Amino acid sequence: MAGRHGIHLPTTLPGSTSRVSRRAALGGAAGLGGAAFLSSCSGAGGGGTAGGGGGGGDDKTVNVIMVNNPQMVDLQKLTKDNFTKDTGITVNYTVLPENDVRDKISQEFSSQAGQYDVASISNYEVPFYSKNGWLAPLDDFISGDSGFNQSDIIKPLATALTGEDGKVYAEPFYGESSFLMYRKDVFESKGLTMPDKPTWAEVAAFAAQLDGAMPNMKGIALRGLPGWGQVFAPLTTVVNTFGGTWFDEDWTAKVNAPEFVEATKFYVDLVRAHGENGAPQAGFTECLNGMTQSQVAMWYDATSAAGSLDAEGSPVAGKVGYVAAPVDQTESSGWLYTWAWGVQKASKRQDNAWKFISWASSQKYEELVGAQVGWASVPAGKRNSTYENADYQKAAAPFYKETQTAINAANPANPGVQPRPAPGIQFVAIPEFADLGTQVSQFVSSAIAGQTSVEDALNQGQELATKLVSDKYKK
Amino acid sequence: MSASTAPSHPRVGPDRPQGSAGSARRAADWARRAPLLPALLFTIVVTQLPFVATIVISFMNWNSYYPQDRGFGGVDNYVSVFTNAQLRQAVVNTVVLTVTVVLVSLVLGMLIALLLDRKFAGRGAVRTMMIAPFLVVPIAAALLWKHALFNPNYGLFNGTINAVWKLFGSDSAPQVDWLSTAPKIAIEVSLIWQWTPFMMLILLAGLQSKPADAEEAARMDGATSFQIFRYLTFPHLRQYLELGGLLGAIYIVQNFDAVFTITAGGLGTANLPYTIYQTVFSAHDYGLASAMGVVVVIATIIIATFALRVVSSMFKQEVGR
C-alpha cells in the first residue's frame, strides 16, 4: 500500500478492529448505556416537578409560551427587572418559532393540561379556541383592573378577540393591517399621482407604467410563496374586495366561483406581467428585500413592513409613501392580524396570568420599550394612545397615521360583500383553514409560475375545500 | 419461571433443567448476560418504543383540534394514505428526487474520486475542499442555493449571464427565473452538490483499497486505461457504489430542508417528508401523519435491508482476505 499514506479520510476499514477490541468496545457501550439508562430513569422519576416550566402550583410564577418574534424577545429581556421586580411573580418563558408554537399551543390547549398559563395566540385561533372552551374569559379581570383601560384597545382588534358569547378571550400584544407602499420619488419622475384610496384597476395600470422606471425595476411586489399565511394573506383580501369568498353562509365552498376566479386571475396576471422576478418563491421577506433594493415600485403587504422600510440605514427611507389597501367592490380591504395573550382555562394561576397580560399589553410597557429599546421597536398597532404619543409619532412619522387608519378600517366579521360563516379577513377562522389554505396556495403558486391555469388550480381548491370543510360543517 | 402454579399433569417441560451440569452452565451464562440486560432494555426503550407509539397512533383518529373525537379509527388513515392524489404525487416526487440525486451524485463522485486517486501536488488540500459541501448545514445550503445562486435579481447565475452578455456589449441579457421554470431540477441540483462529496469519499476509500499489483500486471499485458477501468477498477468499486447509493438513498428519501426552504413544497415539489410535516403542522392530523410515517419507515427498512446486506458482504470479504 505504498503511496496510500497521509490520507485524512474517515475511512472505516472493515475488519480493522480485532475481536478483542470489538468485545471491549461492546462492553464499554453496554456500560455507557446502563449508566445513561439509570440516569434517565432518575430524571424521569422526578415526574411533574421536572422541567417544562415548573408545573408546581405556587402562587408566585406564571408560565408563558410564545412565538419568537423580535417584540417577544424584547419582552423576555425586560421582564425580570420590571414585572418581576414590581410584582414578585417569576415568568417562565417557552419561546418557539411560529409553526412549532402553534402546534404546541394547540396540543396544550386542546388537552387542557394546564402546563402553560398564558399563550401567544392570534385572531385566527380565538374564535374556535373560545368556542371549544379552551380559553378563560377575561372580562372580570378587565373590570377589576382600572389601569388597563380596555377602551383604548383599537376597536377591530378588541372585536376580533371577543368570542361569540361576547366575552373577551385575549388581549393584543401588537397588531397589523395591510396597505399599499409605493416609491414617491419614482411616481414623481414618471409624473404619476397615487390616490389616497386606490382601486386595484388603478394599481394594475400604475404597475404597467412603472415597469423599468429604474433599471431592473418592476411595477409591484406581491407574495407568491405557498402557505396560508404567505400568498393567501394578500390574495384573500383581493378575493374579498372582488366579491368572492372561501365559503358562503351555509359552508358551501366557493373557491371556483366566478368572483374568486376573477380575483385570483387578476392577482396572478398582475404578478406575472409586472411583479417581482421569482414570484413563486417570494414571501414577505423576499418582497421586503425587493422593495428596499429598489427592484419594485409598489408593494401591497403588512403595515408592519413600514418600520423596516423607513428604518435608519434603509436605502429607501423617506422615499416610501403609504396609502390604503387597494379595493374593487368594498370600502376597504386591509387585513387584520394580531399576536395576543390568551389564558388557558385549566390554568391554576389565572390571577398571575392576568397580571402578566395587564403589564405586557399596557401603555406603560410600550413606554418602557420606547425608553429602553427604542420607539421603532414598540409593539404598536393595538392601542389608540400609541398613535397620540409624540415620541412614537416622531419615530413612525411616515406611516403611523395610515397604519392606525388601516387597522381601524378592518372588519373581520364582514370583510366582503356577502355574509360569512366564520370571522376572518385574510383567513377563515376555522381549524381546517391552515391546511386548506396551504394546500390550495401550492396550486396558486404553480399558476404564478405558469405551470397550471388559474381555473385548474381553483377547481382543485374547490375539491379540497369541499372535502376538508364543507362536508364536515354541513352535517 | 415460577413454580407456584403446579401443572395438573406433571411432565418434563422444555424449560425444566436437565440436570445439575446444565443448570450450572445456564447460571453462568446468565451471570455473564445479566449486566448487559439494562443496556438491552435501554436500547429497546430508546430505539423501539417511539416507533411502536407511531404505529399505535397511525390507527387512531386523532386531530389535535378535535380532542373529543379521539379514538380508534382502524385502517382509515392507511386508506387515505394510498388513495390521496397529493400523497401519490409526493411518493412519485420522493422517488424521482432520490433516484436522480443518488445516480448523478454517484457518477460525479466517481469521476472526482478517480481524479483524486492520482498523485499530484496539493492533493490533500483539494480533497479537503471537495468534502466541504457535504459539511454545510443542509438548511444553510438550501438558503445559499435559493438566494445566492438561483435568485433572478441578485443570484450568481443570472449575474454571470449578465456579465457574459456585457462582454459582448449587450445590456438585455435573458434573466431566467430558475426556480419557477425548473423547480424540481433546482432542488435536485442543490442536493447533488451536497451529496457528490459523500459519494466521492466512499468511492475514494474503495479506490485506495484496490490492490495496485493487478493494475501493474494489466499494464504490462498492454491493457488500455479504459480496459483497466472497465475490467478491474469498476468491478472492484461495485460494492462501494452500492453502499454509497443505498446510504445516500436512505438519507435523501428523508430530505426536508431543501424542499422546505427552496420552494416551500410549491410547484409540485412536495416530497413525502414535507407532506408529513404539513399534515402535522397545518392539519394537526396526527393519525394520518403517523400512518404516512409508518409507510415511509417500512419503505426505508426495505432499502436499508439491502444496504446492510451489502455492508455485511463487504465484512465477509474483508475477513476472508
Tell whether A44 lies on the interface with B, counting CB pairs under 8 A. Answer: no
Say if residue A213's pLDDT is above 70. yes
Q: Is B264 on the interface with A (CB under 8 A)?
A: yes
pLDDT of residue A466: 95
- Rounded to two decimals, what is the model's pTM? 0.80
Pick among A277, A441, A444 to test the B interface (most B CBs inside 10 A): A277
Highest mean pLDDT among A32-36, B182-186, B238-242 belongs to B182-186
pLDDT at B223: 86
| CA gap B6, B159 in Å, rounded | 86
A144-156 pLDDT, tens per residue? Answer: 998 999 999 999 9
Q: How confident is the model at residue A10 (pLDDT cuts 50, 70, 90)?
A: very low
Alpha carbon distance A167, A181 (integer Å):
36
Mutate which: A108, A271, A277, A281, vs B, most B CBs within 10 A: A281
- What average pLDDT score do residues B104-114 get? 94
CA distance B289 to chain A (A): 13
What pLDDT is attached to residue A56?
44
pLDDT tens track for B75-88 = 888 988 888 888 88
Round the average pLDDT of chain B to a whole number and report it: 85
Rounded to the nearest 10°, the torsion over CA B182, B187, B188, B191 is 160
Assign B18 a pLDDT band (cuts: 50, 70, 90). Answer: low
Q: Cβ contacts of residue B173 below 8 Å, gap of 6+?
A: B158, B161, B162, B164, B165, B166
C-alpha B154/C-alpha A3 separation (Å) is 46
Rg (CA), chain A: 26
The pLDDT of residue A457 is 95
pLDDT, tens digit, for every residue of A320-357?
A: 999 999 999 999 999 999 999 999 999 999 999 999 99
Q: For A14, which residue in chain B has the nearest alpha carbon?
A: B315
Q: Look at residue A18 and tell me whether its pLDDT is greater than 60.
A: no
Cell numbers describing residue A248: 358562503
Q: What is the pLDDT of residue B320?
A: 54
Q: Which phi and psi (to 5°) does residue A180 adopt? A: -100, 125
B57 closest CA partner among B279, B298, B254, B289: B289
Residue A175's beta-bridge partner residues?
A338
Nearest to B65 among A33, A431, A441 (CB): A431
Q: Tell me the helix, strand and coil percentages in chain A, rounded to 5.
A: 45, 15, 40
* Model confidence at A306: pLDDT above 80: yes
Helix pair B234-253, B286-320: axis angle to 10 deg: 160
Instruction: Summarize the confidence of residues B103-123 as an average pLDDT.
Output: 91
Write phi, then psi, for B71 (nearest 5 degrees). Answer: -175, -175
Q: Which three cell numbers stand for residue A408?
A: 381601524
How would residue B19 be classed by pLDDT, with cut points 50, 70 and 90?
A: low
Predicted local confidence at residue B314, as pLDDT: 66
Q: Do A431 and B38 touch (CB under 8 A)?
A: no
Which of A14, A106, A446 has its CB closest to that of B268? A446
| pLDDT for res A87 | 94
CB contacts under 8 A, A 240-269 vs B, are: none
Inter-chain touch B180–A34, beta carbons under 8 Å: no
Q: Judging by beta carbons within 10 Å of its beta carbon (0-12, 13-18, 19+), is residue A31 exposed, middle or buried?
A: middle
- Contact residues, A window 66-125, toward B, CB-based 8 Å cutoff: 99-100, 102-103, 106-107, 110-111
- Compare all CA atoms of chain A with the CA of B130 and give the residue at the minimum distance: A9
The CA-atom distances, in angstroms, between A15 and each of A7, A20, B318, B321 are 19, 12, 6, 10
Instruction: Test B124 with A438 for CB contact under 8 angstroms.
Output: no
What type of residue sits at position A137?
Answer: P
The string of pLDDT tens digits covering residues A60-101 is: 899 999 999 889 999 999 999 999 999 999 999 999 988 788
Residue A128, chain B, CB below 8 Å: the answer is yes
Cβ-based neighbour number of residue B25 at 10 Å: 10
